Structure 1
């Protein structure tokens, strides 16, 4: 970790434990860099809550502090409105007698010192697969539009309505595309649910044990696909700290093994312990979790978390490299040679797989070199990325991809 990342962790630690940083701890911080990191991980309001306002004016530029304060104020209002609107839709589920389980942020926000500090922009829920048609009809009656079906991250349908929260409706939490394992751990999900309130509306949440498993699954999926940020770690830390005594950790470990994320889960718990001093459950201590994965890979994991940002898209080079490091059909790539082959295939794709603009090469195979040069120029002239970013991607993709590849293989993803 660099200095800014260490300061971010220090302030987040204070925030989630309802502590305030002293003036000495705030001195000599590069606030512009810190705020950038906080925004990339969607934890800016949390960091702000750990700062004594009287001390802040002594060390933070007035305009930066003013804008930050305004951002946190409006973020709080938006989060309160978000939960109210989500509650209104959940009420419709109840009225239509459609069983629904709320997931992730809608539940763990209650473990934060102030729920509105845990930001979110959508709402993830789980329903029975046989209720999907009724759910679609209900959402359409509420003015929502189904924007896409099963997507690359797993089985869910996305519903969108201008000015309203995006709803991601899942019918399974197992994600076969991104990790090994089976769906047996889901067999008793519905029997083990607990009642919660969201926006003043009674609904269901996963049992604490299954909630912990799902948080780890979600991080595993995102690590394999692009990446995830510090906020996801905080969700797990607060769940473990506040509800750990109520979780059957032996059963949790068996479920993590069943869905193929056991080694990844060990790494995540070690990272949470290292960054936030989260006490490891005794069951993990008994299996000597701290020695199961070498320090090298824990450092790689933490590096990836900071470099990814909340949705894994902070650094486009890493996004690009992740596509080389993980193959949905095969899992982690098989070593450095495989990544290099994928990279070369991107630069010089099979002629039969190239677009219509290169049809001349399919007709006359001797023109293949010309088509590949044409393909490279099209890429260089693409306006979606700056020339600087293209060069960075070209030179860094294999290096970053190799590191990501090693991490995914070590964690059995």
Structure 2
């Protein structure tokens, strides 16, 4: 763990316990800001060090933190106005709905404005989707994507993801999509707006973390989310970890709960074998967006699928199976239409060339090297050890 990572965790613990950090800051503050920003935690960290003289002496870092802090407040106000508008529209038209992930979690924080959120996630019943679509579009929301179980809407600069499922596809070895397919029936409603039952919701949050692990990465903010959630609802941790066994995620959940306890004093200490997972959480930013070798991820997924040769890895990357294609957002129209698979392969290649050139280049640049294969094999074995595979 670097000095910057250690200090970020100290700041987050102080925020969680409603304290300030007034001691001299002995880290590179510019690098520290970059780390906090990569984890989408700069506003939270700034709230506990904004009066610290060491920070004020570094004008560059201070201004960067301050800008992130006030941007967070502005974004919260815009997103909250849209959440309230959606709630009023759906309630007035008797459509049951649940705001989940960040839209719910941020309101549990001591200062909701500081918990950054990329988009608003709302769950409705599949039967209500046509009516909800008509309502939202009729009230100024622009429908920008309407494939599969998630419809995307924009209201100004605010993105809304309107879900009919909270999980799509498998997570590691688990068929999480089936497990959570009736999520809206596991909610407590006040009128037409509901909240997922706390222990069911906590199991979902663990599954969501596992989902991000399985792709590119999950960051420290997700553990802070768990800590805030556990502090607010006091769920039975043992019962949730036991239920996670039904998703083949018991080992993973025990590791995450142990880290949550180490870092924030809530959760439960099941194991001391957490160093690799702490390093993974700290090392790659909020969603695997820093210091992540995308080629390693691609190769590791190929190993999971039994594609050990470089040729088979490239072939699987170019021509994914129907099962995988139907969970890619921009081609979800294939769901239920497997006969469209050849067309979708062509569409996907064109789409990636136009919209994801940098990502494709990064993911395939070093795909066949011995170093990439060794790192991918190491990650595969690590995922096996923590119960994701």
TM-score by length of 2: 0.79
Q: 1:35: Cα distance to partner?
A: 0.5
Q: Which runs of 4+ in 1 moved over 6 A?
A: 385-394
1:161 corresponds to 2:158: no
Q: Secondary structure at the match of 1:205?
A: strand
2:284 corresponds to 1:308: yes
* 1:341-356 map, 5 Å: 341=309, 343-346=310-313
Query: Residues 324 and 333 of structure 1 are in contact (CA less than 8 Å); yes or no, is this contact kept in structure 2?
Result: no
Answer yes or no: is the 8 Å Cα contact 1:82–1:121 preserved in 2.
no
Partner SS, residue 326 of structure 1: helix
- In the TM superposition, residue 11 of structure 1 has moved relative to its aligned partner by 1.1
Distance 1:70 1:92 in 2: 33
Three-state SS of the structure 2 residue aligned to 1:120 is coil
Name the counterpart of 1:48: 46
Q: Is residue 2:186 matched to residue 1:212?
A: no
Contact 2:170-2:176 within 8 A present in 1 as well: no
Q: Which of 306, 318, 325 is matched with 2:300 structurally?
A: 325
- Give CA deviations for 1:284-340 in whole Å, capped at 9, x if unaligned: x6xxx327xxx2xx22222222222112222341x332222235xxx9356xxx55x
> Contact between 1:146 and 1:160, CA under 8 Å: does it hold in 2?
yes
Query: Once the 2 structures are TM-superposed, how far is the Cα of residue 274 of structure 1 from its aligned partner?
Result: 2.5
Question: Which of 44, 52, 63 is equivalent to 2:60?
Answer: 63
By how many angstroms is 1:277 displaced?
3.1
Matched with 2:358 is 384
CA distance in 1, matches of 2:359, 2:199: 43
Q: How far, CA to CA, are the matches of 1:384 and 1:181 in structure 2?
A: 31
Deviation at 1:31, TM superposition (A): 0.5
CA distance in 1, matches of 2:357, 2:212: 27
Cα distance between partner residues in 1 of 2:213 and 2:311:
24
Please tell me whether Structure 1 or Structure 2 has the larger radius of gyration of its CA atoms. 1
1:229, CA displacement in angstroms?
A: 0.9
Once the two structures are TM-superposed, the CA of residue 118 in structure 1 deviates from its matched residue by 0.5
Instruction: Please name the residue that 1:406 is paired with.
Output: 381
Question: CA contact under 8 A between 2:16 and 2:264: conserved in structure 1?
Answer: no
Rounded Cα–Cα distance in structure 1 between residues aligned with 2:127 and 2:168: 19
Question: Cα–Cα, structure 1 residues 388 and 238, in superposed 2: closer, same or farther, change >3 Å?
Answer: closer
Where does 1:12-411 land on structure 2 (aligned, <5 Å)?
12-24=12-24, 26=25, 28-57=26-55, 60-142=57-139, 143-150=141-148, 156-161=149-154, 163-179=156-172, 180-181=174-175, 186=180, 189-195=183-189, 203-244=193-234, 247-280=235-268, 289-290=270-271, 295=273, 298-317=274-293, 319-326=294-301, 332=304, 341=309, 343-346=310-313, 384=358, 396-410=371-385, 411=387
Q: CA deviation at 1:64?
A: 2.6
Hey, what's the Cα distance between the residues in 2 that align with 1:137 and 1:267? 44
How far off is 1:264 after superposition?
1.4
Provide, for residues 158-190 of structure 1, a one-character-per-residue CA deviation record: whole Å limited to 9, x for no partner.
Answer: 313252421222222344333314667548744
Deviation per residue, 1:321-364 (Å, 9 max, x gap): 2222235xxx9356xxx55x2x45456x59x97xxxxxxxxxxx
In the superposition, relative to structure 1, how do residues 117 and 178 fare at CA in structure 2: closer, same or farther (>3 Å)? Answer: same
Q: CA deviation digits over 1:217-264, x for unaligned, max 9?
A: 1111111111111111110011112322xx244542343122332221
- Root-mean-square deviation over aligned CA pairs: 3.2
Task: List alignment gaps of at least 5 residues for structure 2.
Answer: 320-352
Give the Å deviation of 1:116.
0.6
- The alpha-carbon distance between structure 1 residues 273 and 400, as it changes in their structure 2 partners (threshold 3 A), is farther
- Equivalent pairs counted in the alignment come to 349
Does 305-314 or 209-218 show the bigger shift? 305-314
Structure 1: gaps of 5 or more residues: 151-155, 354-378
Give, in whole Å, the separation in 2 of the partners of 1:270 and 1:100: 33
Per-residue deviation, 1:63? 3.1
- How far the C-alpha of 1:141 sits from its partner, in A, is 2.1
Query: Per the alignment, in what secondary structure is the counterpart of residue 147 of structure 1?
Result: strand
Q: Distance in 1 between matches of 2:132 and 2:361?
A: 46
For residues 276 and 132 of structure 1, do their structure 2 counterparts lie closer, same or farther at Cα, with a shift above 3 Å needed? Answer: same
Distance in 2, matches of 1:311 and 1:248, equals: 28
Q: Give the distance between the partners of 2:157 and 2:55, measured in 1 at CA.
A: 36
TM-score (norm 1): 0.75
2:327 corresponds to which residue?
none
